A = this chain, B = another copy of it.
Amino acid sequence: MASLKNIVRINPNKIEIKLNGPPGTDHFIADNILHFSKKLKKEEPYNCTEKVYPLKIILTPKSNNPHLDLNTNESYTLEIIYEDDTITASINAYSIFGIRHGLETLFQLIIPYEDGNQKCIATLSYVYISDKPVYKHRGLLLDTGRNFLSVDTIKRHLDGMAASKLNVLHWHITDSQSFPLEVGRLPNMTKYGAYSEKHIYSESAIKDLLQYANRRGVRILPEIDAPSHAGNGWQWGEEAGLGNLAVCINRQPWRSFCIQPPCGQLNPTNQNLYSVLKDLYSHMRDHFPDTGMFHMGGDEVFIPCWNSTQEIIDYLRGKPLTTETFLDLWGEFQRKALAAYDRAFEHEDTSIVVWTSHITQPEVIRKYLSNERYIIQTWVPESNINLITELLKLEYRVIISTKDKWYLDHGFWGSTLYYNWKTVYENKMYKYNHEGILGGEVCMWGELVDDNNIDSRVWPRAAAAAERLWSNPRSTAEFAQYRFFAQRKRLVDLGIHAEALTPKWCVDSQGECKTYL
């Protein structure tokens, strides 16, 4: 803030909000105003004796549509004008979600302004911003299958996402370790699959969480990973007279039957499995908003599991036990799982996301997955850009999660490396823009995090990915550094235990720590 003349001090006790829009947006707007006010109060104690001015905020959404999906218009304009001793901030947007983004930007433009011992808050005397995201799908993956995360922890992440304009929480709910999602129709899923009664997302908790996410402008993309990464929770088939719904569950030695303990893989040869999947998908239909998108996982099928299961070998009726045979079996599973989904939802146009795997290789993908129905989430390293190019050529839509930049669990196991915020920021996404690229996600796999340590693994790095996805700037992380330090402070003020990025001296002494860290 070089020039005083461009700065106006705000009277935080005189903030007036006016809502100009169609009916039905009051709850959404009221909740966001409350959130905005709470954040503003986190700023330094206010003891400003200089002249301060009232701030009037005028919010004008065009639509009252409360549903978020891939095509929600998130653009907004923000104009700040100081005249006649009043500061007026006008936010115009098509959707209420655009309005929310505008409020977030306004909050970022209100900063502490110290003058001797006085602490004021101030903003610029004139601003005009017309803003919209480069990518529609800007996500963070949280994994509650490996380790449970409390609803409070998930909400804290939703706050961080909102502050960073991320709009998709990809929720990898279940895995072979546990099945924490309460499913009324299928109570055995948590009876067998939850770590304990305390480690369950009840239907009421889900309802609360979904509303909270919506208010923060975040759509939840649930993932029920299948046919691999499924084990605990699926043990009750025999007992219920349905046969084995899954095989290799908790089988040892685990290295022979899966890539990570405990083992488990759904049994594609058991036709009852598809009825159970339909029940599960019906539950998703009833308890999650239909955003037109669902994640079926579909990664890391471990052939030696199926290949060592007599029931599955019998089903294959003497076919050669080759990779191709098992890929066909997997394809059959995927076809039947999709049919179960479509029956549950009673429409056939949900976009199904799956991870890149053997079955999504360009040579075979068309045999198994329609490019109209499937979105491919790529997790290949940045160097393997060819795969993305091939998938785009085949007219698949893709979501990019560059493994060697955006996998937030790396650095703590095997020979993986930690990616600091600058590396995360400088992930190229792709060499050129292509409308088939819906966006990207940073992924916080859950093996080595729980409520105690997840915050600092995710934050502020996810905010670096957020800027990449929102504006995809040509400039470097070094250029964004001071803005990023400020964003880290905002996250800490939200109660997020975000990682420290540098000694405080470097935060306070802008420009004095060039090329350091």
* A contact residues vs B (CB 8 Å cutoff): 146-148, 177-178, 195, 199, 232, 250, 252-255, 260-262, 411-413, 417-418, 420, 446-450, 452-453, 455-456, 492, 496-506, 508-509, 512-517
Contact = CB atoms under 8 A, between A and B. Distances in A.
A409 B508 CA distance: 22
B452 A177 contact: no
22 contacts: A146-B503, A147-B500, A177-B503, A232-B505, A250-B509, A252-B512, A253-B514, A262-B512, A262-B513, A411-B411, A411-B412, A411-B418, A447-B502, A447-B517, A448-B502, A449-B500, A450-B504, A452-B455, A452-B492, A452-B498, A453-B456, A453-B499
Contacts of A502: 447-448
A191 to B, nearest CB: 15
A37 to B, nearest CB: 23
Contacts of A418: 411-412, 418
Contacts of A508: 195
A517 B195 contact: no
Given A261-B513, A447-B503, A448-B500, 16 more contacts: A147-B500, A147-B504, A195-B504, A195-B508, A199-B504, A250-B512, A255-B515, A260-B516, A413-B420, A417-B417, A418-B418, A447-B502, A447-B517, A450-B500, A452-B499, A453-B497
A506 B261 contact: yes
A453 B500 contact: yes
Contacts of A448: 499-502, 517
- Nearest 9 A-B pairs (CB), nearest first? A453-B456, A177-B505, A146-B503, A450-B500, A452-B497, A261-B513, A177-B503, A453-B499, A195-B504
A502 B500 CA distance: 24
A418 B414 CA distance: 10
Nearest to A492: B452
A505 B179 CA distance: 11
A247 to B, nearest CB: 17
A52 to B, nearest CB: 24
Contact of A504 (B177, B417, B452): B177
Contacts of A514: 253
